[in-house]
Amino acid sequence: GENVEQHPSTLSVQEGDSAVIKCTYSDSASNYFPWYKQELGKRPQLIIDIRSNVGEKKDQRIAVTLNKTAKHFSLHITETQPEDSAVYFCAASSTLSFGAGTTVTVRA
Amino acid sequence: DGGITQSPKYLFRKEGQNVTLSCEQNLNHDAMYWYRQDPGQGLRLIYYSQIVNDFQKGDIAEGYSVSREKKESFPLTVTSAQKNPTAFYLCASSMGGRSVAQYFGPGTRLLVL
């Protein structure tokens, strides 16, 4: 399947600061890019997604940007809070591939 | 989230034994998926089904089998051919096609005795 690279694997931020996670994909046929959040011991849940005809999408403190030319997309979390601590996964639609995940820790 | 369920929550397998993980959804979704989650490796696709009575292999199908006799159900069997079955197994469903959100079940943790 398609290889989706996700960086960084771990991210520690001070409460109130921003967090950025980046993913790259290889299949230009991918046209849908979701982000999932998985809290410890729980199921992954969709937090935001973007389609290839859009360059940026925001939902309160969360935003996703897409660069189709470079084949990468990023998750931005602003004004981080302790409840943002979780593992975040990106995915690319064409072959149902997920990134390896980023463990985000928000320090109080 | 309550629309997709998995059972059991924990499952123990003896060597050489086949075990079946259950996944049921009442969301009227056409597509269903099985993923395996290992620490540090994200989610890897085992099998998926876009419609009843049809399913396709994912990236790591060896040692696993599935059936899709009903729209609501997509059971996964971990066979004795799967030599390293210890993992967290997640089932998901979606309205169909690849470009839509997936809804995940709570997962089954499989352990080998």
pLDDT, residue B113, reads 83
pLDDT of amino acid A1 = 52
What is the predicted pLDDT for the residue at A47? 97
Contact A68, A52 (CB under 8 A): yes
Question: Residues A50-61: pLDDT tens digits?
Answer: 999 889 999 999
Contacting residues of B for A1, CB less than 8 Å apart: 45, 58-59
Would you state the torsion angle of the CA atoms of residues B112, A1, B99, B49, taken in this order, to the nearest 10 degrees? -50
Q: What percent of chain A has pLDDT over 90?
A: 81
Which of 2-31 (B) contact A at CB < 8 A?
Answer: none
Q: What's chain A's average pLDDT?
A: 93
Cβ–Cβ of A100/B42 closer than 8 Å?
yes
In A, which residues are within 8 Å of B38 by CB distance? none
Residues of chain A with C-beta less than 8 angstroms from the C-beta of B2: none
The whole-number mean pLDDT for each consecutive block of 10 residues of chain B, a chain of 113 residues, reads 87 92 96 91 92 95 97 96 93 87 94 88
Over residues A85-93, the mean pLDDT reads: 94
- pLDDT tens for A18-28 read 999 999 999 88
Give the nearest chain B residue to A47 (CA atoms): B101
Q: What is the CA radius of gyration of chain A?
A: 13
Report pLDDT digits (tens) over A98-107.
Answer: 999 999 999 9
Contact between A4 and A22 (Cβ < 8 Å): no
Cβ atoms within 10 Å, residue B92: 26
Strand partners, A64: A57, A75
